[in-house]
């Protein structure tokens, strides 16, 4: 096993990673309360009646954007026997001195073996070396396994965007959760 900086990704590399998505039997439900003198948002973990399944396909535009980000030198891949099995694509956000993880993916055969943790720790170490103040990422309230993984890695929920995915948010829609880990 080897972790190394990614310089480019071929279509074959993306295919080796497999499909991208998740399943969850729970979600964090958002409750908003607005009064004249206050505004609050609360996330409550609830069980779902049906398994929530999200399968994502990276569009040509996504892959083009990721290729541009990779050229910045902050993205890493985990290779086993020369094959890419996991990757973390990260981009500096100079305006607030953070490193943003745009994409973290582990091939389904290698999930829950610690490889995602190795990559996310590598990105954190790089951010620390380069003088960033924090590492940031975004996930969804429906991706409870990812939320719990990131919490275990030391990230905290620091922001909520209720309309990132839809102009007509409802109780059943995904909402974006921004998570951050401060550099020590």
pLDDT in tens, 32-81: 999 999 999 999 999 999 999 988 767 778 888 999 999 999 999 999 99
Tokens of 125: 């170490």
Strand partners, 56: 20
What percent of the chain has a predicted confidence (pLDDT) above 70?
A: 97
Q: Alpha carbon of 65 to those of 92, 101, 126: distances in Å?
A: 14, 13, 21
**Which DSSP state fits 95?**
G
Picking from 172, 147, 158, 136, the residue whose alpha carbon sits closest to that of residue 22 is 147
Q: Which residue has the tokens 């030198």?
A: 73
Mean pLDDT on 102-125: 95
**Which DSSP state fits 174?**
-
**Which DSSP state fits 26?**
E
Tokens of 28: 């964090």
**Which DSSP state fits 4?**
E
Picking from 154, 176, 156, the residue whose alpha carbon sits closest to that of residue 165 is 176
Q: Which of 130-139, 143-152, 159-168 has the lowest mean pLDDT?
A: 159-168
Residue 173 has pLDDT above 90, yes or no: no
Residue 103 has pLDDT above 90, yes or no: yes
Interatomic CA distance for residues 176 and 162, integer angstroms: 6
SS3 166: coil
Mean pLDDT of the chain: 92
The beta-carbon contacts of 67-70 under 8 Å, at least 24 apart in sequence, are: 67/8, 67/9, 69/102, 70/6, 70/7, 70/8, 70/9
Give pLDDT, residue 61. 84
Give pLDDT, residue 158. 96
Residue 105 has pLDDT above 70, yes or no: yes
Spell 20-54 as b/e; 16+ CB within 10 A means b: bebebebbbbbeeeeeeeeeeeebeeeeeeeebee
**Which DSSP state fits 154?**
T
Task: Report the sign of the C-alpha dihedral through residues 29, 118, 16, 103, in that order.
Answer: positive
Give pLDDT, residue 27. 95
Q: Alpha carbon of 117 to those of 46, 60, 105, 108: distances in Å?
A: 26, 28, 11, 15
pTM: 0.92
Q: Which of 7-16, 23-32, 164-173 has the lowest mean pLDDT?
A: 164-173
Give pLDDT, residue 172. 63
């Amino acid at each position: 096993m080897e972790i190394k900086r990614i310089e480019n990704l071929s279509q074959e590399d993306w295919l080796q990673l497999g499909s991208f998505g998740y399943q969850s039997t729970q979600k964090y439900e958002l409750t908003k309360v607005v009064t004249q003198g206050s505004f609050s948002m609360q996330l409550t973990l609830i069980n779902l009646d049906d398994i929530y399944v999200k399968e994502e396909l990276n569009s040509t535009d996504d892959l083009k954007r990721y290729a541009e980000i990779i050229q910045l030198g902050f993205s890493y891949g985990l290779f086993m026997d020369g094959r890419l099995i996991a990757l973390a694509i990260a981009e500096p956000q100079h305006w607030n001195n953070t490193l943003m993880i745009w994409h973290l993916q582990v091939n389904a055969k290698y999930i829950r073996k610690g490889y995602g943790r190795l990559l996310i720790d590598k990105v954190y170490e790089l951010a620390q070396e380069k003088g960033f103040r924090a590492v940031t990422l975004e996930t969804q309230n429906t991706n409870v396994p990812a939320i719990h993984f990131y919490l275990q890695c030391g990230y905290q929920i620091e922001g909520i965007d209720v309309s990132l995915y839809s102009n007509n948010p409802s109780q059943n829609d995904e909402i974006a959760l921004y998570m951050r880990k401060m550099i020590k």
